[in-house]
Amino acid sequence: IFHLFLHTRKKMVLLLLLIICQCAINSIKTHRVSKPNIILLMADDLGIGDLGCYGNRTLRTPNIDRLAEEGVTLTQHIAASPLCTPSRAAFLTGRYPIRSGMAAFSRVGVFLFSASSGGLPSGEITFAKLLKQEGYATALIGKWHLGMNCESSNDFCHHPLSHGFDYFYGLPVTNLRDCKPGQGSVFLKGVQKSLVILIQITGIALVSLATVQYIGLLKVPFQALGYFLLIITISLVVLIFFFYHFRHLNCFLMRDHEIIQQPLSYENLTQRLTKEAMQFIVRNTDTPFLLVLSYLHVHTALYASENFKGKSKHGLYGDAVEEMDWSVGQVLDVLEKHNLNDKTLVYFTSDQGAHVEEISSAGEIHGGYNGIYKGGKSTNWEGGIRVPGLLRWPGVVQAGANIDEPTSNMDIFPTIAKLAGAQLPSDRVIDGHDLLPLLQGKVTRSKHEFLFHYCNAYLNAVRWHPGNSESVWKVFFFTPNFSPEDSNGCYDYHVCFCHGGFVTRHDPPLLFDLSRDPEEKVPLTPETESRFYEILGVVQQAVDNHTRSLHAVPNQLSWDNLLWKPWLQLCCSSLFQSCYCDYESGGSPLQAHLG
The predicted-structure confidence for 175-199, as pLDDT tens digits, reads as follows 999 999 988 888 765 556 566 776 7
CB 175 within 8 A of CB 276: no
* pLDDT recorded at residue 227: 75
Own/partner pairs, 230-233, CB within 8 angstroms, 24+ separation: 232/198, 232/202
* pLDDT recorded at residue 144: 98
CB 353 within 8 A of CB 384: yes
Report the amino acid identity of residue 51.
Answer: L
Phi and psi angles of residue 387, each rounded to the nearest 5 degrees, phi first: -125, 165
Q: What is the spatial distance between Cα 340 and Cα 227, in angstroms, rounded to a whole number?
A: 67
Q: What is the spatial distance between Cα 256 and Cα 159, in angstroms, rounded to a whole number?
A: 9
CA 398 to chain centre: 26
DSSP conformation letters of 131-199 = HHHTT-EEEEEEE--S---SSSTT--TTSGGGTT-SEEEEESS---GGGSTTS--SSHHHHHHHHHHHH
* pLDDT recorded at residue 185: 84
DSSP code for 17? H
* pLDDT recorded at residue 186: 81
> What three-state secondary structure class fits 21?
helix
Closest of 404, 379, 381 to residue 520, by C-alpha: 381
pLDDT band, residue 28 (cuts 50/70/90): very low
Residue 7 reports pLDDT greater than 60: no
DSSP code for 364? -
Residue 388 reports pLDDT greater than 80: yes
Residue 590 reports pLDDT greater than 60: no
Average pLDDT value for residue range 20-49: 73
pLDDT band, residue 4 (cuts 50/70/90): very low
Q: What is the spatial distance between Cα 79 and Cα 388, in angstroms, rounded to a whole number?
A: 9
pTM for this one? 0.90
Q: Kindly give, in sequence order, each residue whose CB lies less than 8 Å from that of residue 527, ignoring residues fewer than 6 positions away.
A: none
E strand or H helix at 32? helix 2-33
Cis peptide, bond prior to residue 437, ω within 30 of zero? no
DSSP conformation letters of 437-482 = HHHTTS-SS-S-SEEEEEETTEEEEEEE--TT-S--EEEEEEEE--
Average pLDDT value for residue range 141-158: 98
Q: What is the spatial distance between Cα 455 and Cα 480, in angstroms, rounded to a whole number?
A: 10
DSSP conformation letters of 266-311 = -TTHHHHHHHHHHHHHHHTTTS-EEEEEE--TTSSSP---TTTTT-
DSSP conformation letters of 518-571 = TT--S---TTT-TTHHHHHHHHHHHHHHHHHT------TTSHHHHS--GGG---
CB 454 within 8 A of CB 477: no
CB 451 within 8 A of CB 474: no
Instruction: For residue 261, list its beta bridge partners.
Output: 253, 582
CA 50 to chain centre: 17
CB 417 within 8 A of CB 290: no
* pLDDT recorded at residue 9: 58
Residue 232 reports pLDDT greater than 90: no
Q: Which residue has the higher pLDDT, 143 or 593?
A: 143
Residue 532 reports pLDDT greater than 90: yes
Q: What is the spatial distance between Cα 177 and Cα 160, in angstroms, rounded to a whole number?
A: 24
Q: Which residue has the higher pLDDT, 317 or 590?
A: 317
Average pLDDT value for residue range 289-296: 98
Q: pLDDT tens for residues 52-62?
A: 999 999 999 99
Integer angstrom CA distances of residue 221 from 209, 218, 234: 10, 10, 20
Report the amino acid identity of residue 96.
Answer: Y
Q: What is the spatial distance between Cα 299 and Cα 12, in angstroms, rounded to a whole number?
A: 64
Q: Which domains does the chain carry?
A: 37-176+251-446+556-568 (3.40.720.10), 187-244 (1.10.287)
- Alpha helices of 307-439 — where are they, by DSSP H? 315-337, 382-385, 412-420, 436-439
* pLDDT recorded at residue 469: 93
Instruction: For residue 475, list its beta bridge partners.
Output: 462, 511
* Residues 395-410: b if buried by 16+ CB within 10 A, e if exposed: ebbbeebebebbbbbb
Instruction: For residue 206, list its beta bridge partners.
Output: none
Phi and psi angles of residue 81, each rounded to the nearest 5 degrees, phi first: -155, 150
* Residues counted in the chain: 595
State the average pLDDT for the chain.
91
Phi and psi angles of residue 317, each rounded to the nearest 5 degrees, phi first: -60, -50
* pLDDT recorded at residue 585: 73
DSSP code for 253? E
* pLDDT recorded at residue 594: 34
* Residues 544-578: b if buried by 16+ CB within 10 A, e if exposed: eebeeeeeeeebbbeeebbebeeebbbbbbeeeeb
Residue 440 reports pLDDT greater than 70: yes
Taking the alpha carbons at both ends of the chain, their separation in whole angstroms is: 97
Average pLDDT value for residue range 58-87: 98
Mean pLDDT check: name the lowest of 69-73, 192-196, 335-339: 192-196
* pLDDT recorded at residue 24: 46
pLDDT band, residue 2 (cuts 50/70/90): very low
How many C-beta atoms surround the C-beta of residue 166 within 10 A? 18
Catalytic residue ranges: 84, 145
Phi and psi angles of residue 479, each rounded to the nearest 5 degrees, phi first: -135, 150
Q: What is the spatial distance between Cα 96 and Cα 462, in angstroms, rounded to a whole number?
A: 13
> What three-state secondary structure class fits 91?
helix
